[in-house]
Structure 1
């Protein structure tokens, strides 16, 4: 969900005047110089699901907009454009940024993670718990995408909506009723180009830029399949109509059902792709905006590392509130230290530094890791941390980089004696002893293997593999941090999610209960699939081959994640850790906003890409409204 800070090449899509759309490769000196020291109405840092659509919307509204992207353009590369290649895309060094994160402050626990990664003495990776002599510990891989379109270019494309409470929390914190859940749906309608429902179906959009599609689930009509037997048992265990499962698995996951957040229900998983399996992402919207014959005033700079936001004193001599008025950038390929090519001998380690200027506002959209880093490098963040790195304090804002949140993820993975068959089962349900009315588990089951991230993921266990991957929605602990490791903008920050630090026992119990329910459903597969040889969380073939305590312990050390949010969160005015107000404005300064997943007060549902795109559309509406009123 980022795209803020560098990677490889592209060329101008077409020539134009000063306000015509164009894309500039940061390595082309003439083109770069033409935008250095230039002034735009808005500068957006990061082209992912937050920043990319926002820049397009601002340009389409007639405002000259510079979009700064740290990566290149991989939009025509089949590894990225074909959504089915997402695992390959996630491993591709042409876009991959390797963040080596921690799950806790306990080094022993960290190295119990099965895919903990080391750098060996010959420069290769070792993944596992028994590293060779001399290997340097790196951490747990958390790849982000450094390319035009951000992480929407390497993800699995899953589209789901947050619970109503995830929108309404902003209303409760700030009093801004525009965030009410029933009002937020208009942004889905605005951005969506639905391909799987009859035109004009209520609650959906059909003329937006983001295509959504589903896969046929005809297999669920075949009662001879082991997968269908498993499906029916899942229905029984979650209180659904067993005789109607073939229809239930085609339910619209983006539908606006009464009491939808409390329902145990199957769905057909929607993805941001067209009917032909082509990925639909901000990359497409950016290029469509650049190519439009209306010559919208959008300029895109690739291979451009945003190093800090620039400030001037406010024109109001009474308040002296700092005013964001530009961005310092460094031009070149693979400048950021998380880029695996950064250490290559043929890569320039530092590029030329220049400045670009904003008449109206600077919008940071680097994602949950890079947005707090950019703010801190710019002097906006906890004063003690900035002082430690000799960064002049522009605004002491203690919440920057705090309250980092993520869903917990785990997986029930086993090998059958024969393939289970069928297709993907998507199920949202409430674990048996979860508190509150809302469901808390999103699971998708099928013949695949996904166990988190490490160099070269995933492991292919062959045709007999079967998995239910689980996302724990709205975990109780939100105690992660993004802290500077250096004042050098090329050095990635220190990231610690502090998994299970608060109420961890409760969350682990919910995950274990979900795994137990799914494991029970698997037994319905029958012969010749059974017995399943479980890989994790309870290895072996016996029904009771690990205790609840064992299962919780294994889930604690092996949980993973890839939905980071909330490190620059919206919050109440009297909250000392609030970074943004409800209009995405950074508190205590003028002309600066953050628009990406870091703005959410908590992780928005199971998968944040679609909520972040909706958030971007809301931000565009707010910014354009303020511009027309002259109240930035």
Structure 2
């Protein structure tokens, strides 16, 4: 970053976050050579980094130098040891995750519209999927591990669900199959947001500036208008980046509300208590924290299993237990590894060879909050997901049902022939209360925080952005990332975030008109 302390640099748009949505918006806006945009990215480039670009190496990135690694506050009914990985690299979490790619279900979009996100219903949003530049394909035949194939077959036999080939071809309520991934099978290379949207243009567009390893720590406001953002480079140099048109926050469901709060935009009482001057009292900032928690059941296999795989969790299962549910209400990832990180804390041993099924809550009802504990920008915010605290105990009951259903699949051939024994929770754990206690204590995240700047009707006092993604009560400031989700999609949300980016670019006048 070639700036001097307190210098000012002007652009038409300043985009905070070069992640999943930020990459889309930067690319689309600068298709017009007369529009300039700066992207503020806290991490380095992903270009020429095989540790990032090789999809199967995704677990190496968790907790490492490219991870902001946010802790969870004490969880009275859940696992308090969950670490929330947030990627510190160009491409954001699309450079960090498994790239499991689901078009949000029509019921997910329609739920948003019902929550006050006018214009975000399914028929309006579906066309944005076809605009995506990512290479989204089913797991290739050569990556389809034999035990994963048998998992799919056993799920069909045990549960009577269909086998789905191409989860994005049409809406579904339940089914088992291999996922669609945003990757290039012949090389196992990611087709992340940065690879698809920025790599082809980042060295050729003079109107696109990408500021790497640069941290945005405060917004600059002139009255009710966002004028720009204060940034600090890795070497400590500071600058003000001003936006002639708009500032767009794409820093994700943790760092977007964090930046707003540090800038005095959020719940006034909370900010005053930390000595942060209240610039704009906006009570919804940091509220409505969502996630897709899941638990795990692990089996030891009879011996080593084949090691061909796209990323070790290539197949999954969706179940609709409640026929009145608009979509699936239980989901499983099938891991071709014994996923015992959290069970080991409770004394379970990791088998030398094994597999896991992870019952996941597609439509969680518990809601948490994000808040600051200090006015110091360097202090991480507190993430209180309030896991398993919904009044009807829906979330915990979903995991209990999930363990029972996983056991049904596991005792069905051909998968049963691979399995020697259930390692955890162990076949002796059978009662509802015991299963619930186990499932909650070893629960983990699949890194889907969302909802902390939720979208709603323009007159909704608890909404942070309106359906045009404009921050309520301010001018020149929009948000486009998972923080605007009013509710959690039933499926992995990355494609939804990419589609939010495409829609945001169109709202701003960029991309195909």
Aligned counterpart in structure 2 of residue 88 of structure 1, from 60, 81, 85: 60
1:327 is aligned to: 229
2:140 is aligned to: 216
Does residue 1:279 correspond to 2:176, yes or no?
A: no
Deviation readout 1:162-213 (Å, 9 max, x if unpaired): 2212212232233623x1212312211111xxxxxxxxxxxxxxxx2x1123
TM-score (norm 1): 0.74
Deviation readout 1:8-35 (Å, 9 max, x if unpaired): xxxxxxxxxxxxxxxxxx3xxxx22499
1:490 is aligned to: 378
Distance in structure 2 (CA, Å) of the matches to 1:590 and 1:227: 51
Aligned counterpart in structure 1 of residue 410 of structure 2, from 522, 530, 536: 522
Which residues of 2 match residues 446-457 of structure 1 at below 5 A? 446-450=335-339
CA contact (8 A) 1:272 1:280 kept: yes
1:265 is aligned to: 175
CA contact (8 A) 1:42 1:64 kept: yes
Does residue 1:71 correspond to 2:43, yes or no?
A: yes
Secondary structure of residue in 1 paired with 2:296: strand
Aligned counterpart in structure 1 of residue 290 of structure 2, from 405, 420, 423: 405
Secondary structure of residue in 1 paired with 2:157: helix
CA contact (8 A) 2:331 2:361 kept: yes
Stretches of structure 1 that go unaligned for 5 or more consecutive residues are 1-25, 117-138, 192-207, 242-247, 314-321, 334-350
Distance in structure 2 (CA, Å) of the matches to 1:570 and 1:171: 10
Distance in structure 2 (CA, Å) of the matches to 1:559 and 1:520: 20
Does residue 1:545 correspond to 2:447, yes or no?
A: no
Does residue 1:180 correspond to 2:104, yes or no?
A: no
CA contact (8 A) 2:16 2:40 kept: yes
Does residue 1:512 correspond to 2:400, yes or no?
A: yes
Does residue 1:32 correspond to 2:14, yes or no?
A: no
Of stretches 417-426 and 357-366 in structure 1, the one that deviates more from structure 2 is 417-426
Distance in structure 2 (CA, Å) of the matches to 1:578 and 1:527: 47
Stretches of structure 2 that go unaligned for 5 or more consecutive residues are none
2:84 is aligned to: 142
TM-score (norm 2): 0.90
Secondary structure of residue in 1 paired with 2:411: helix
1:517 CA drift (Å):
1.4
Distance in structure 1 (CA, Å) of the matches to 2:394 and 2:318: 17
1:301 CA drift (Å):
0.7
1:226 CA drift (Å):
6.8
Deviation readout 1:360-392 (Å, 9 max, x if unpaired): 111111111111010011111001011112222
Aligned counterpart in structure 2 of residue 599 of structure 1, from 480, 484, 491: 484
2:440 is aligned to: 556
CA contact (8 A) 2:157 2:412 kept: no
1:301 is aligned to: 211
Aligned counterpart in structure 1 of residue 241 of structure 2, from 335, 348, 356: 356
Distance 1:215 1:493, change over 3 A: same
CA contact (8 A) 1:303 1:332 kept: yes
Distance in structure 1 (CA, Å) of the matches to 2:244 and 2:28: 17
Secondary structure of residue in 2 paired with 1:272: strand
Deviation readout 1:455-508 (Å, 9 max, x if unpaired): 9xxx9946630111232101111x211101111111111111011111362222
Distance 1:558 1:460, change over 3 A: closer
Secondary structure of residue in 2 paired with 1:325: strand
Distance 1:57 1:442, change over 3 A: same
Distance in structure 1 (CA, Å) of the matches to 2:147 and 2:484: 43
Aligned counterpart in structure 2 of residue 436 of structure 1, from 325, 328, 347: 325
Distance 1:35 1:274, change over 3 A: farther
CA contact (8 A) 2:44 2:213 kept: yes
CA contact (8 A) 1:485 1:494 kept: yes
1:388 is aligned to: 273
1:412 CA drift (Å):
1.6
1:280 CA drift (Å):
1.5
Aligned counterpart in structure 1 of residue 25 of structure 2, from 54, 76, 89: 54
Distance 1:65 1:521, change over 3 A: same
Distance 1:228 1:172, change over 3 A: closer
Distance in structure 1 (CA, Å) of the matches to 2:19 and 2:415: 47
Distance in structure 2 (CA, Å) of the matches to 1:37 and 1:425: 47
1:55 CA drift (Å):
1.4
CA RMSD of aligned residues (A): 3.0
1:164 is aligned to: 106
Deviation readout 1:234-268 (Å, 9 max, x if unpaired): 11333246xxxxxx35x11111x2xx242x21232
Distance 1:526 1:59, change over 3 A: closer
2:166 is aligned to: 252
Of stretches 574-583 and 363-372 in structure 1, the one that deviates more from structure 2 is 574-583
Distance in structure 2 (CA, Å) of the matches to 1:145 and 1:229: 33
Does residue 1:232 correspond to 2:169, yes or no?
A: no
Secondary structure of residue in 1 paired with 2:491: coil
CA contact (8 A) 2:40 2:211 kept: yes
Distance 1:463 1:54, change over 3 A: same
Which fold has the larger relative contact order, with Cα–Cα distance below 8 Å and residues 6 or more apart in sequence? 2
1:529 CA drift (Å):
4.4
1:61 CA drift (Å):
2.7
Distance 1:360 1:410, change over 3 A: same
Secondary structure of residue in 1 paired with 2:399: helix
1:574 CA drift (Å):
3.8
Does residue 1:473 correspond to 2:357, yes or no?
A: no
Distance 1:463 1:184, change over 3 A: farther
Larger Rg: 1
Distance in structure 1 (CA, Å) of the matches to 2:341 and 2:333: 14
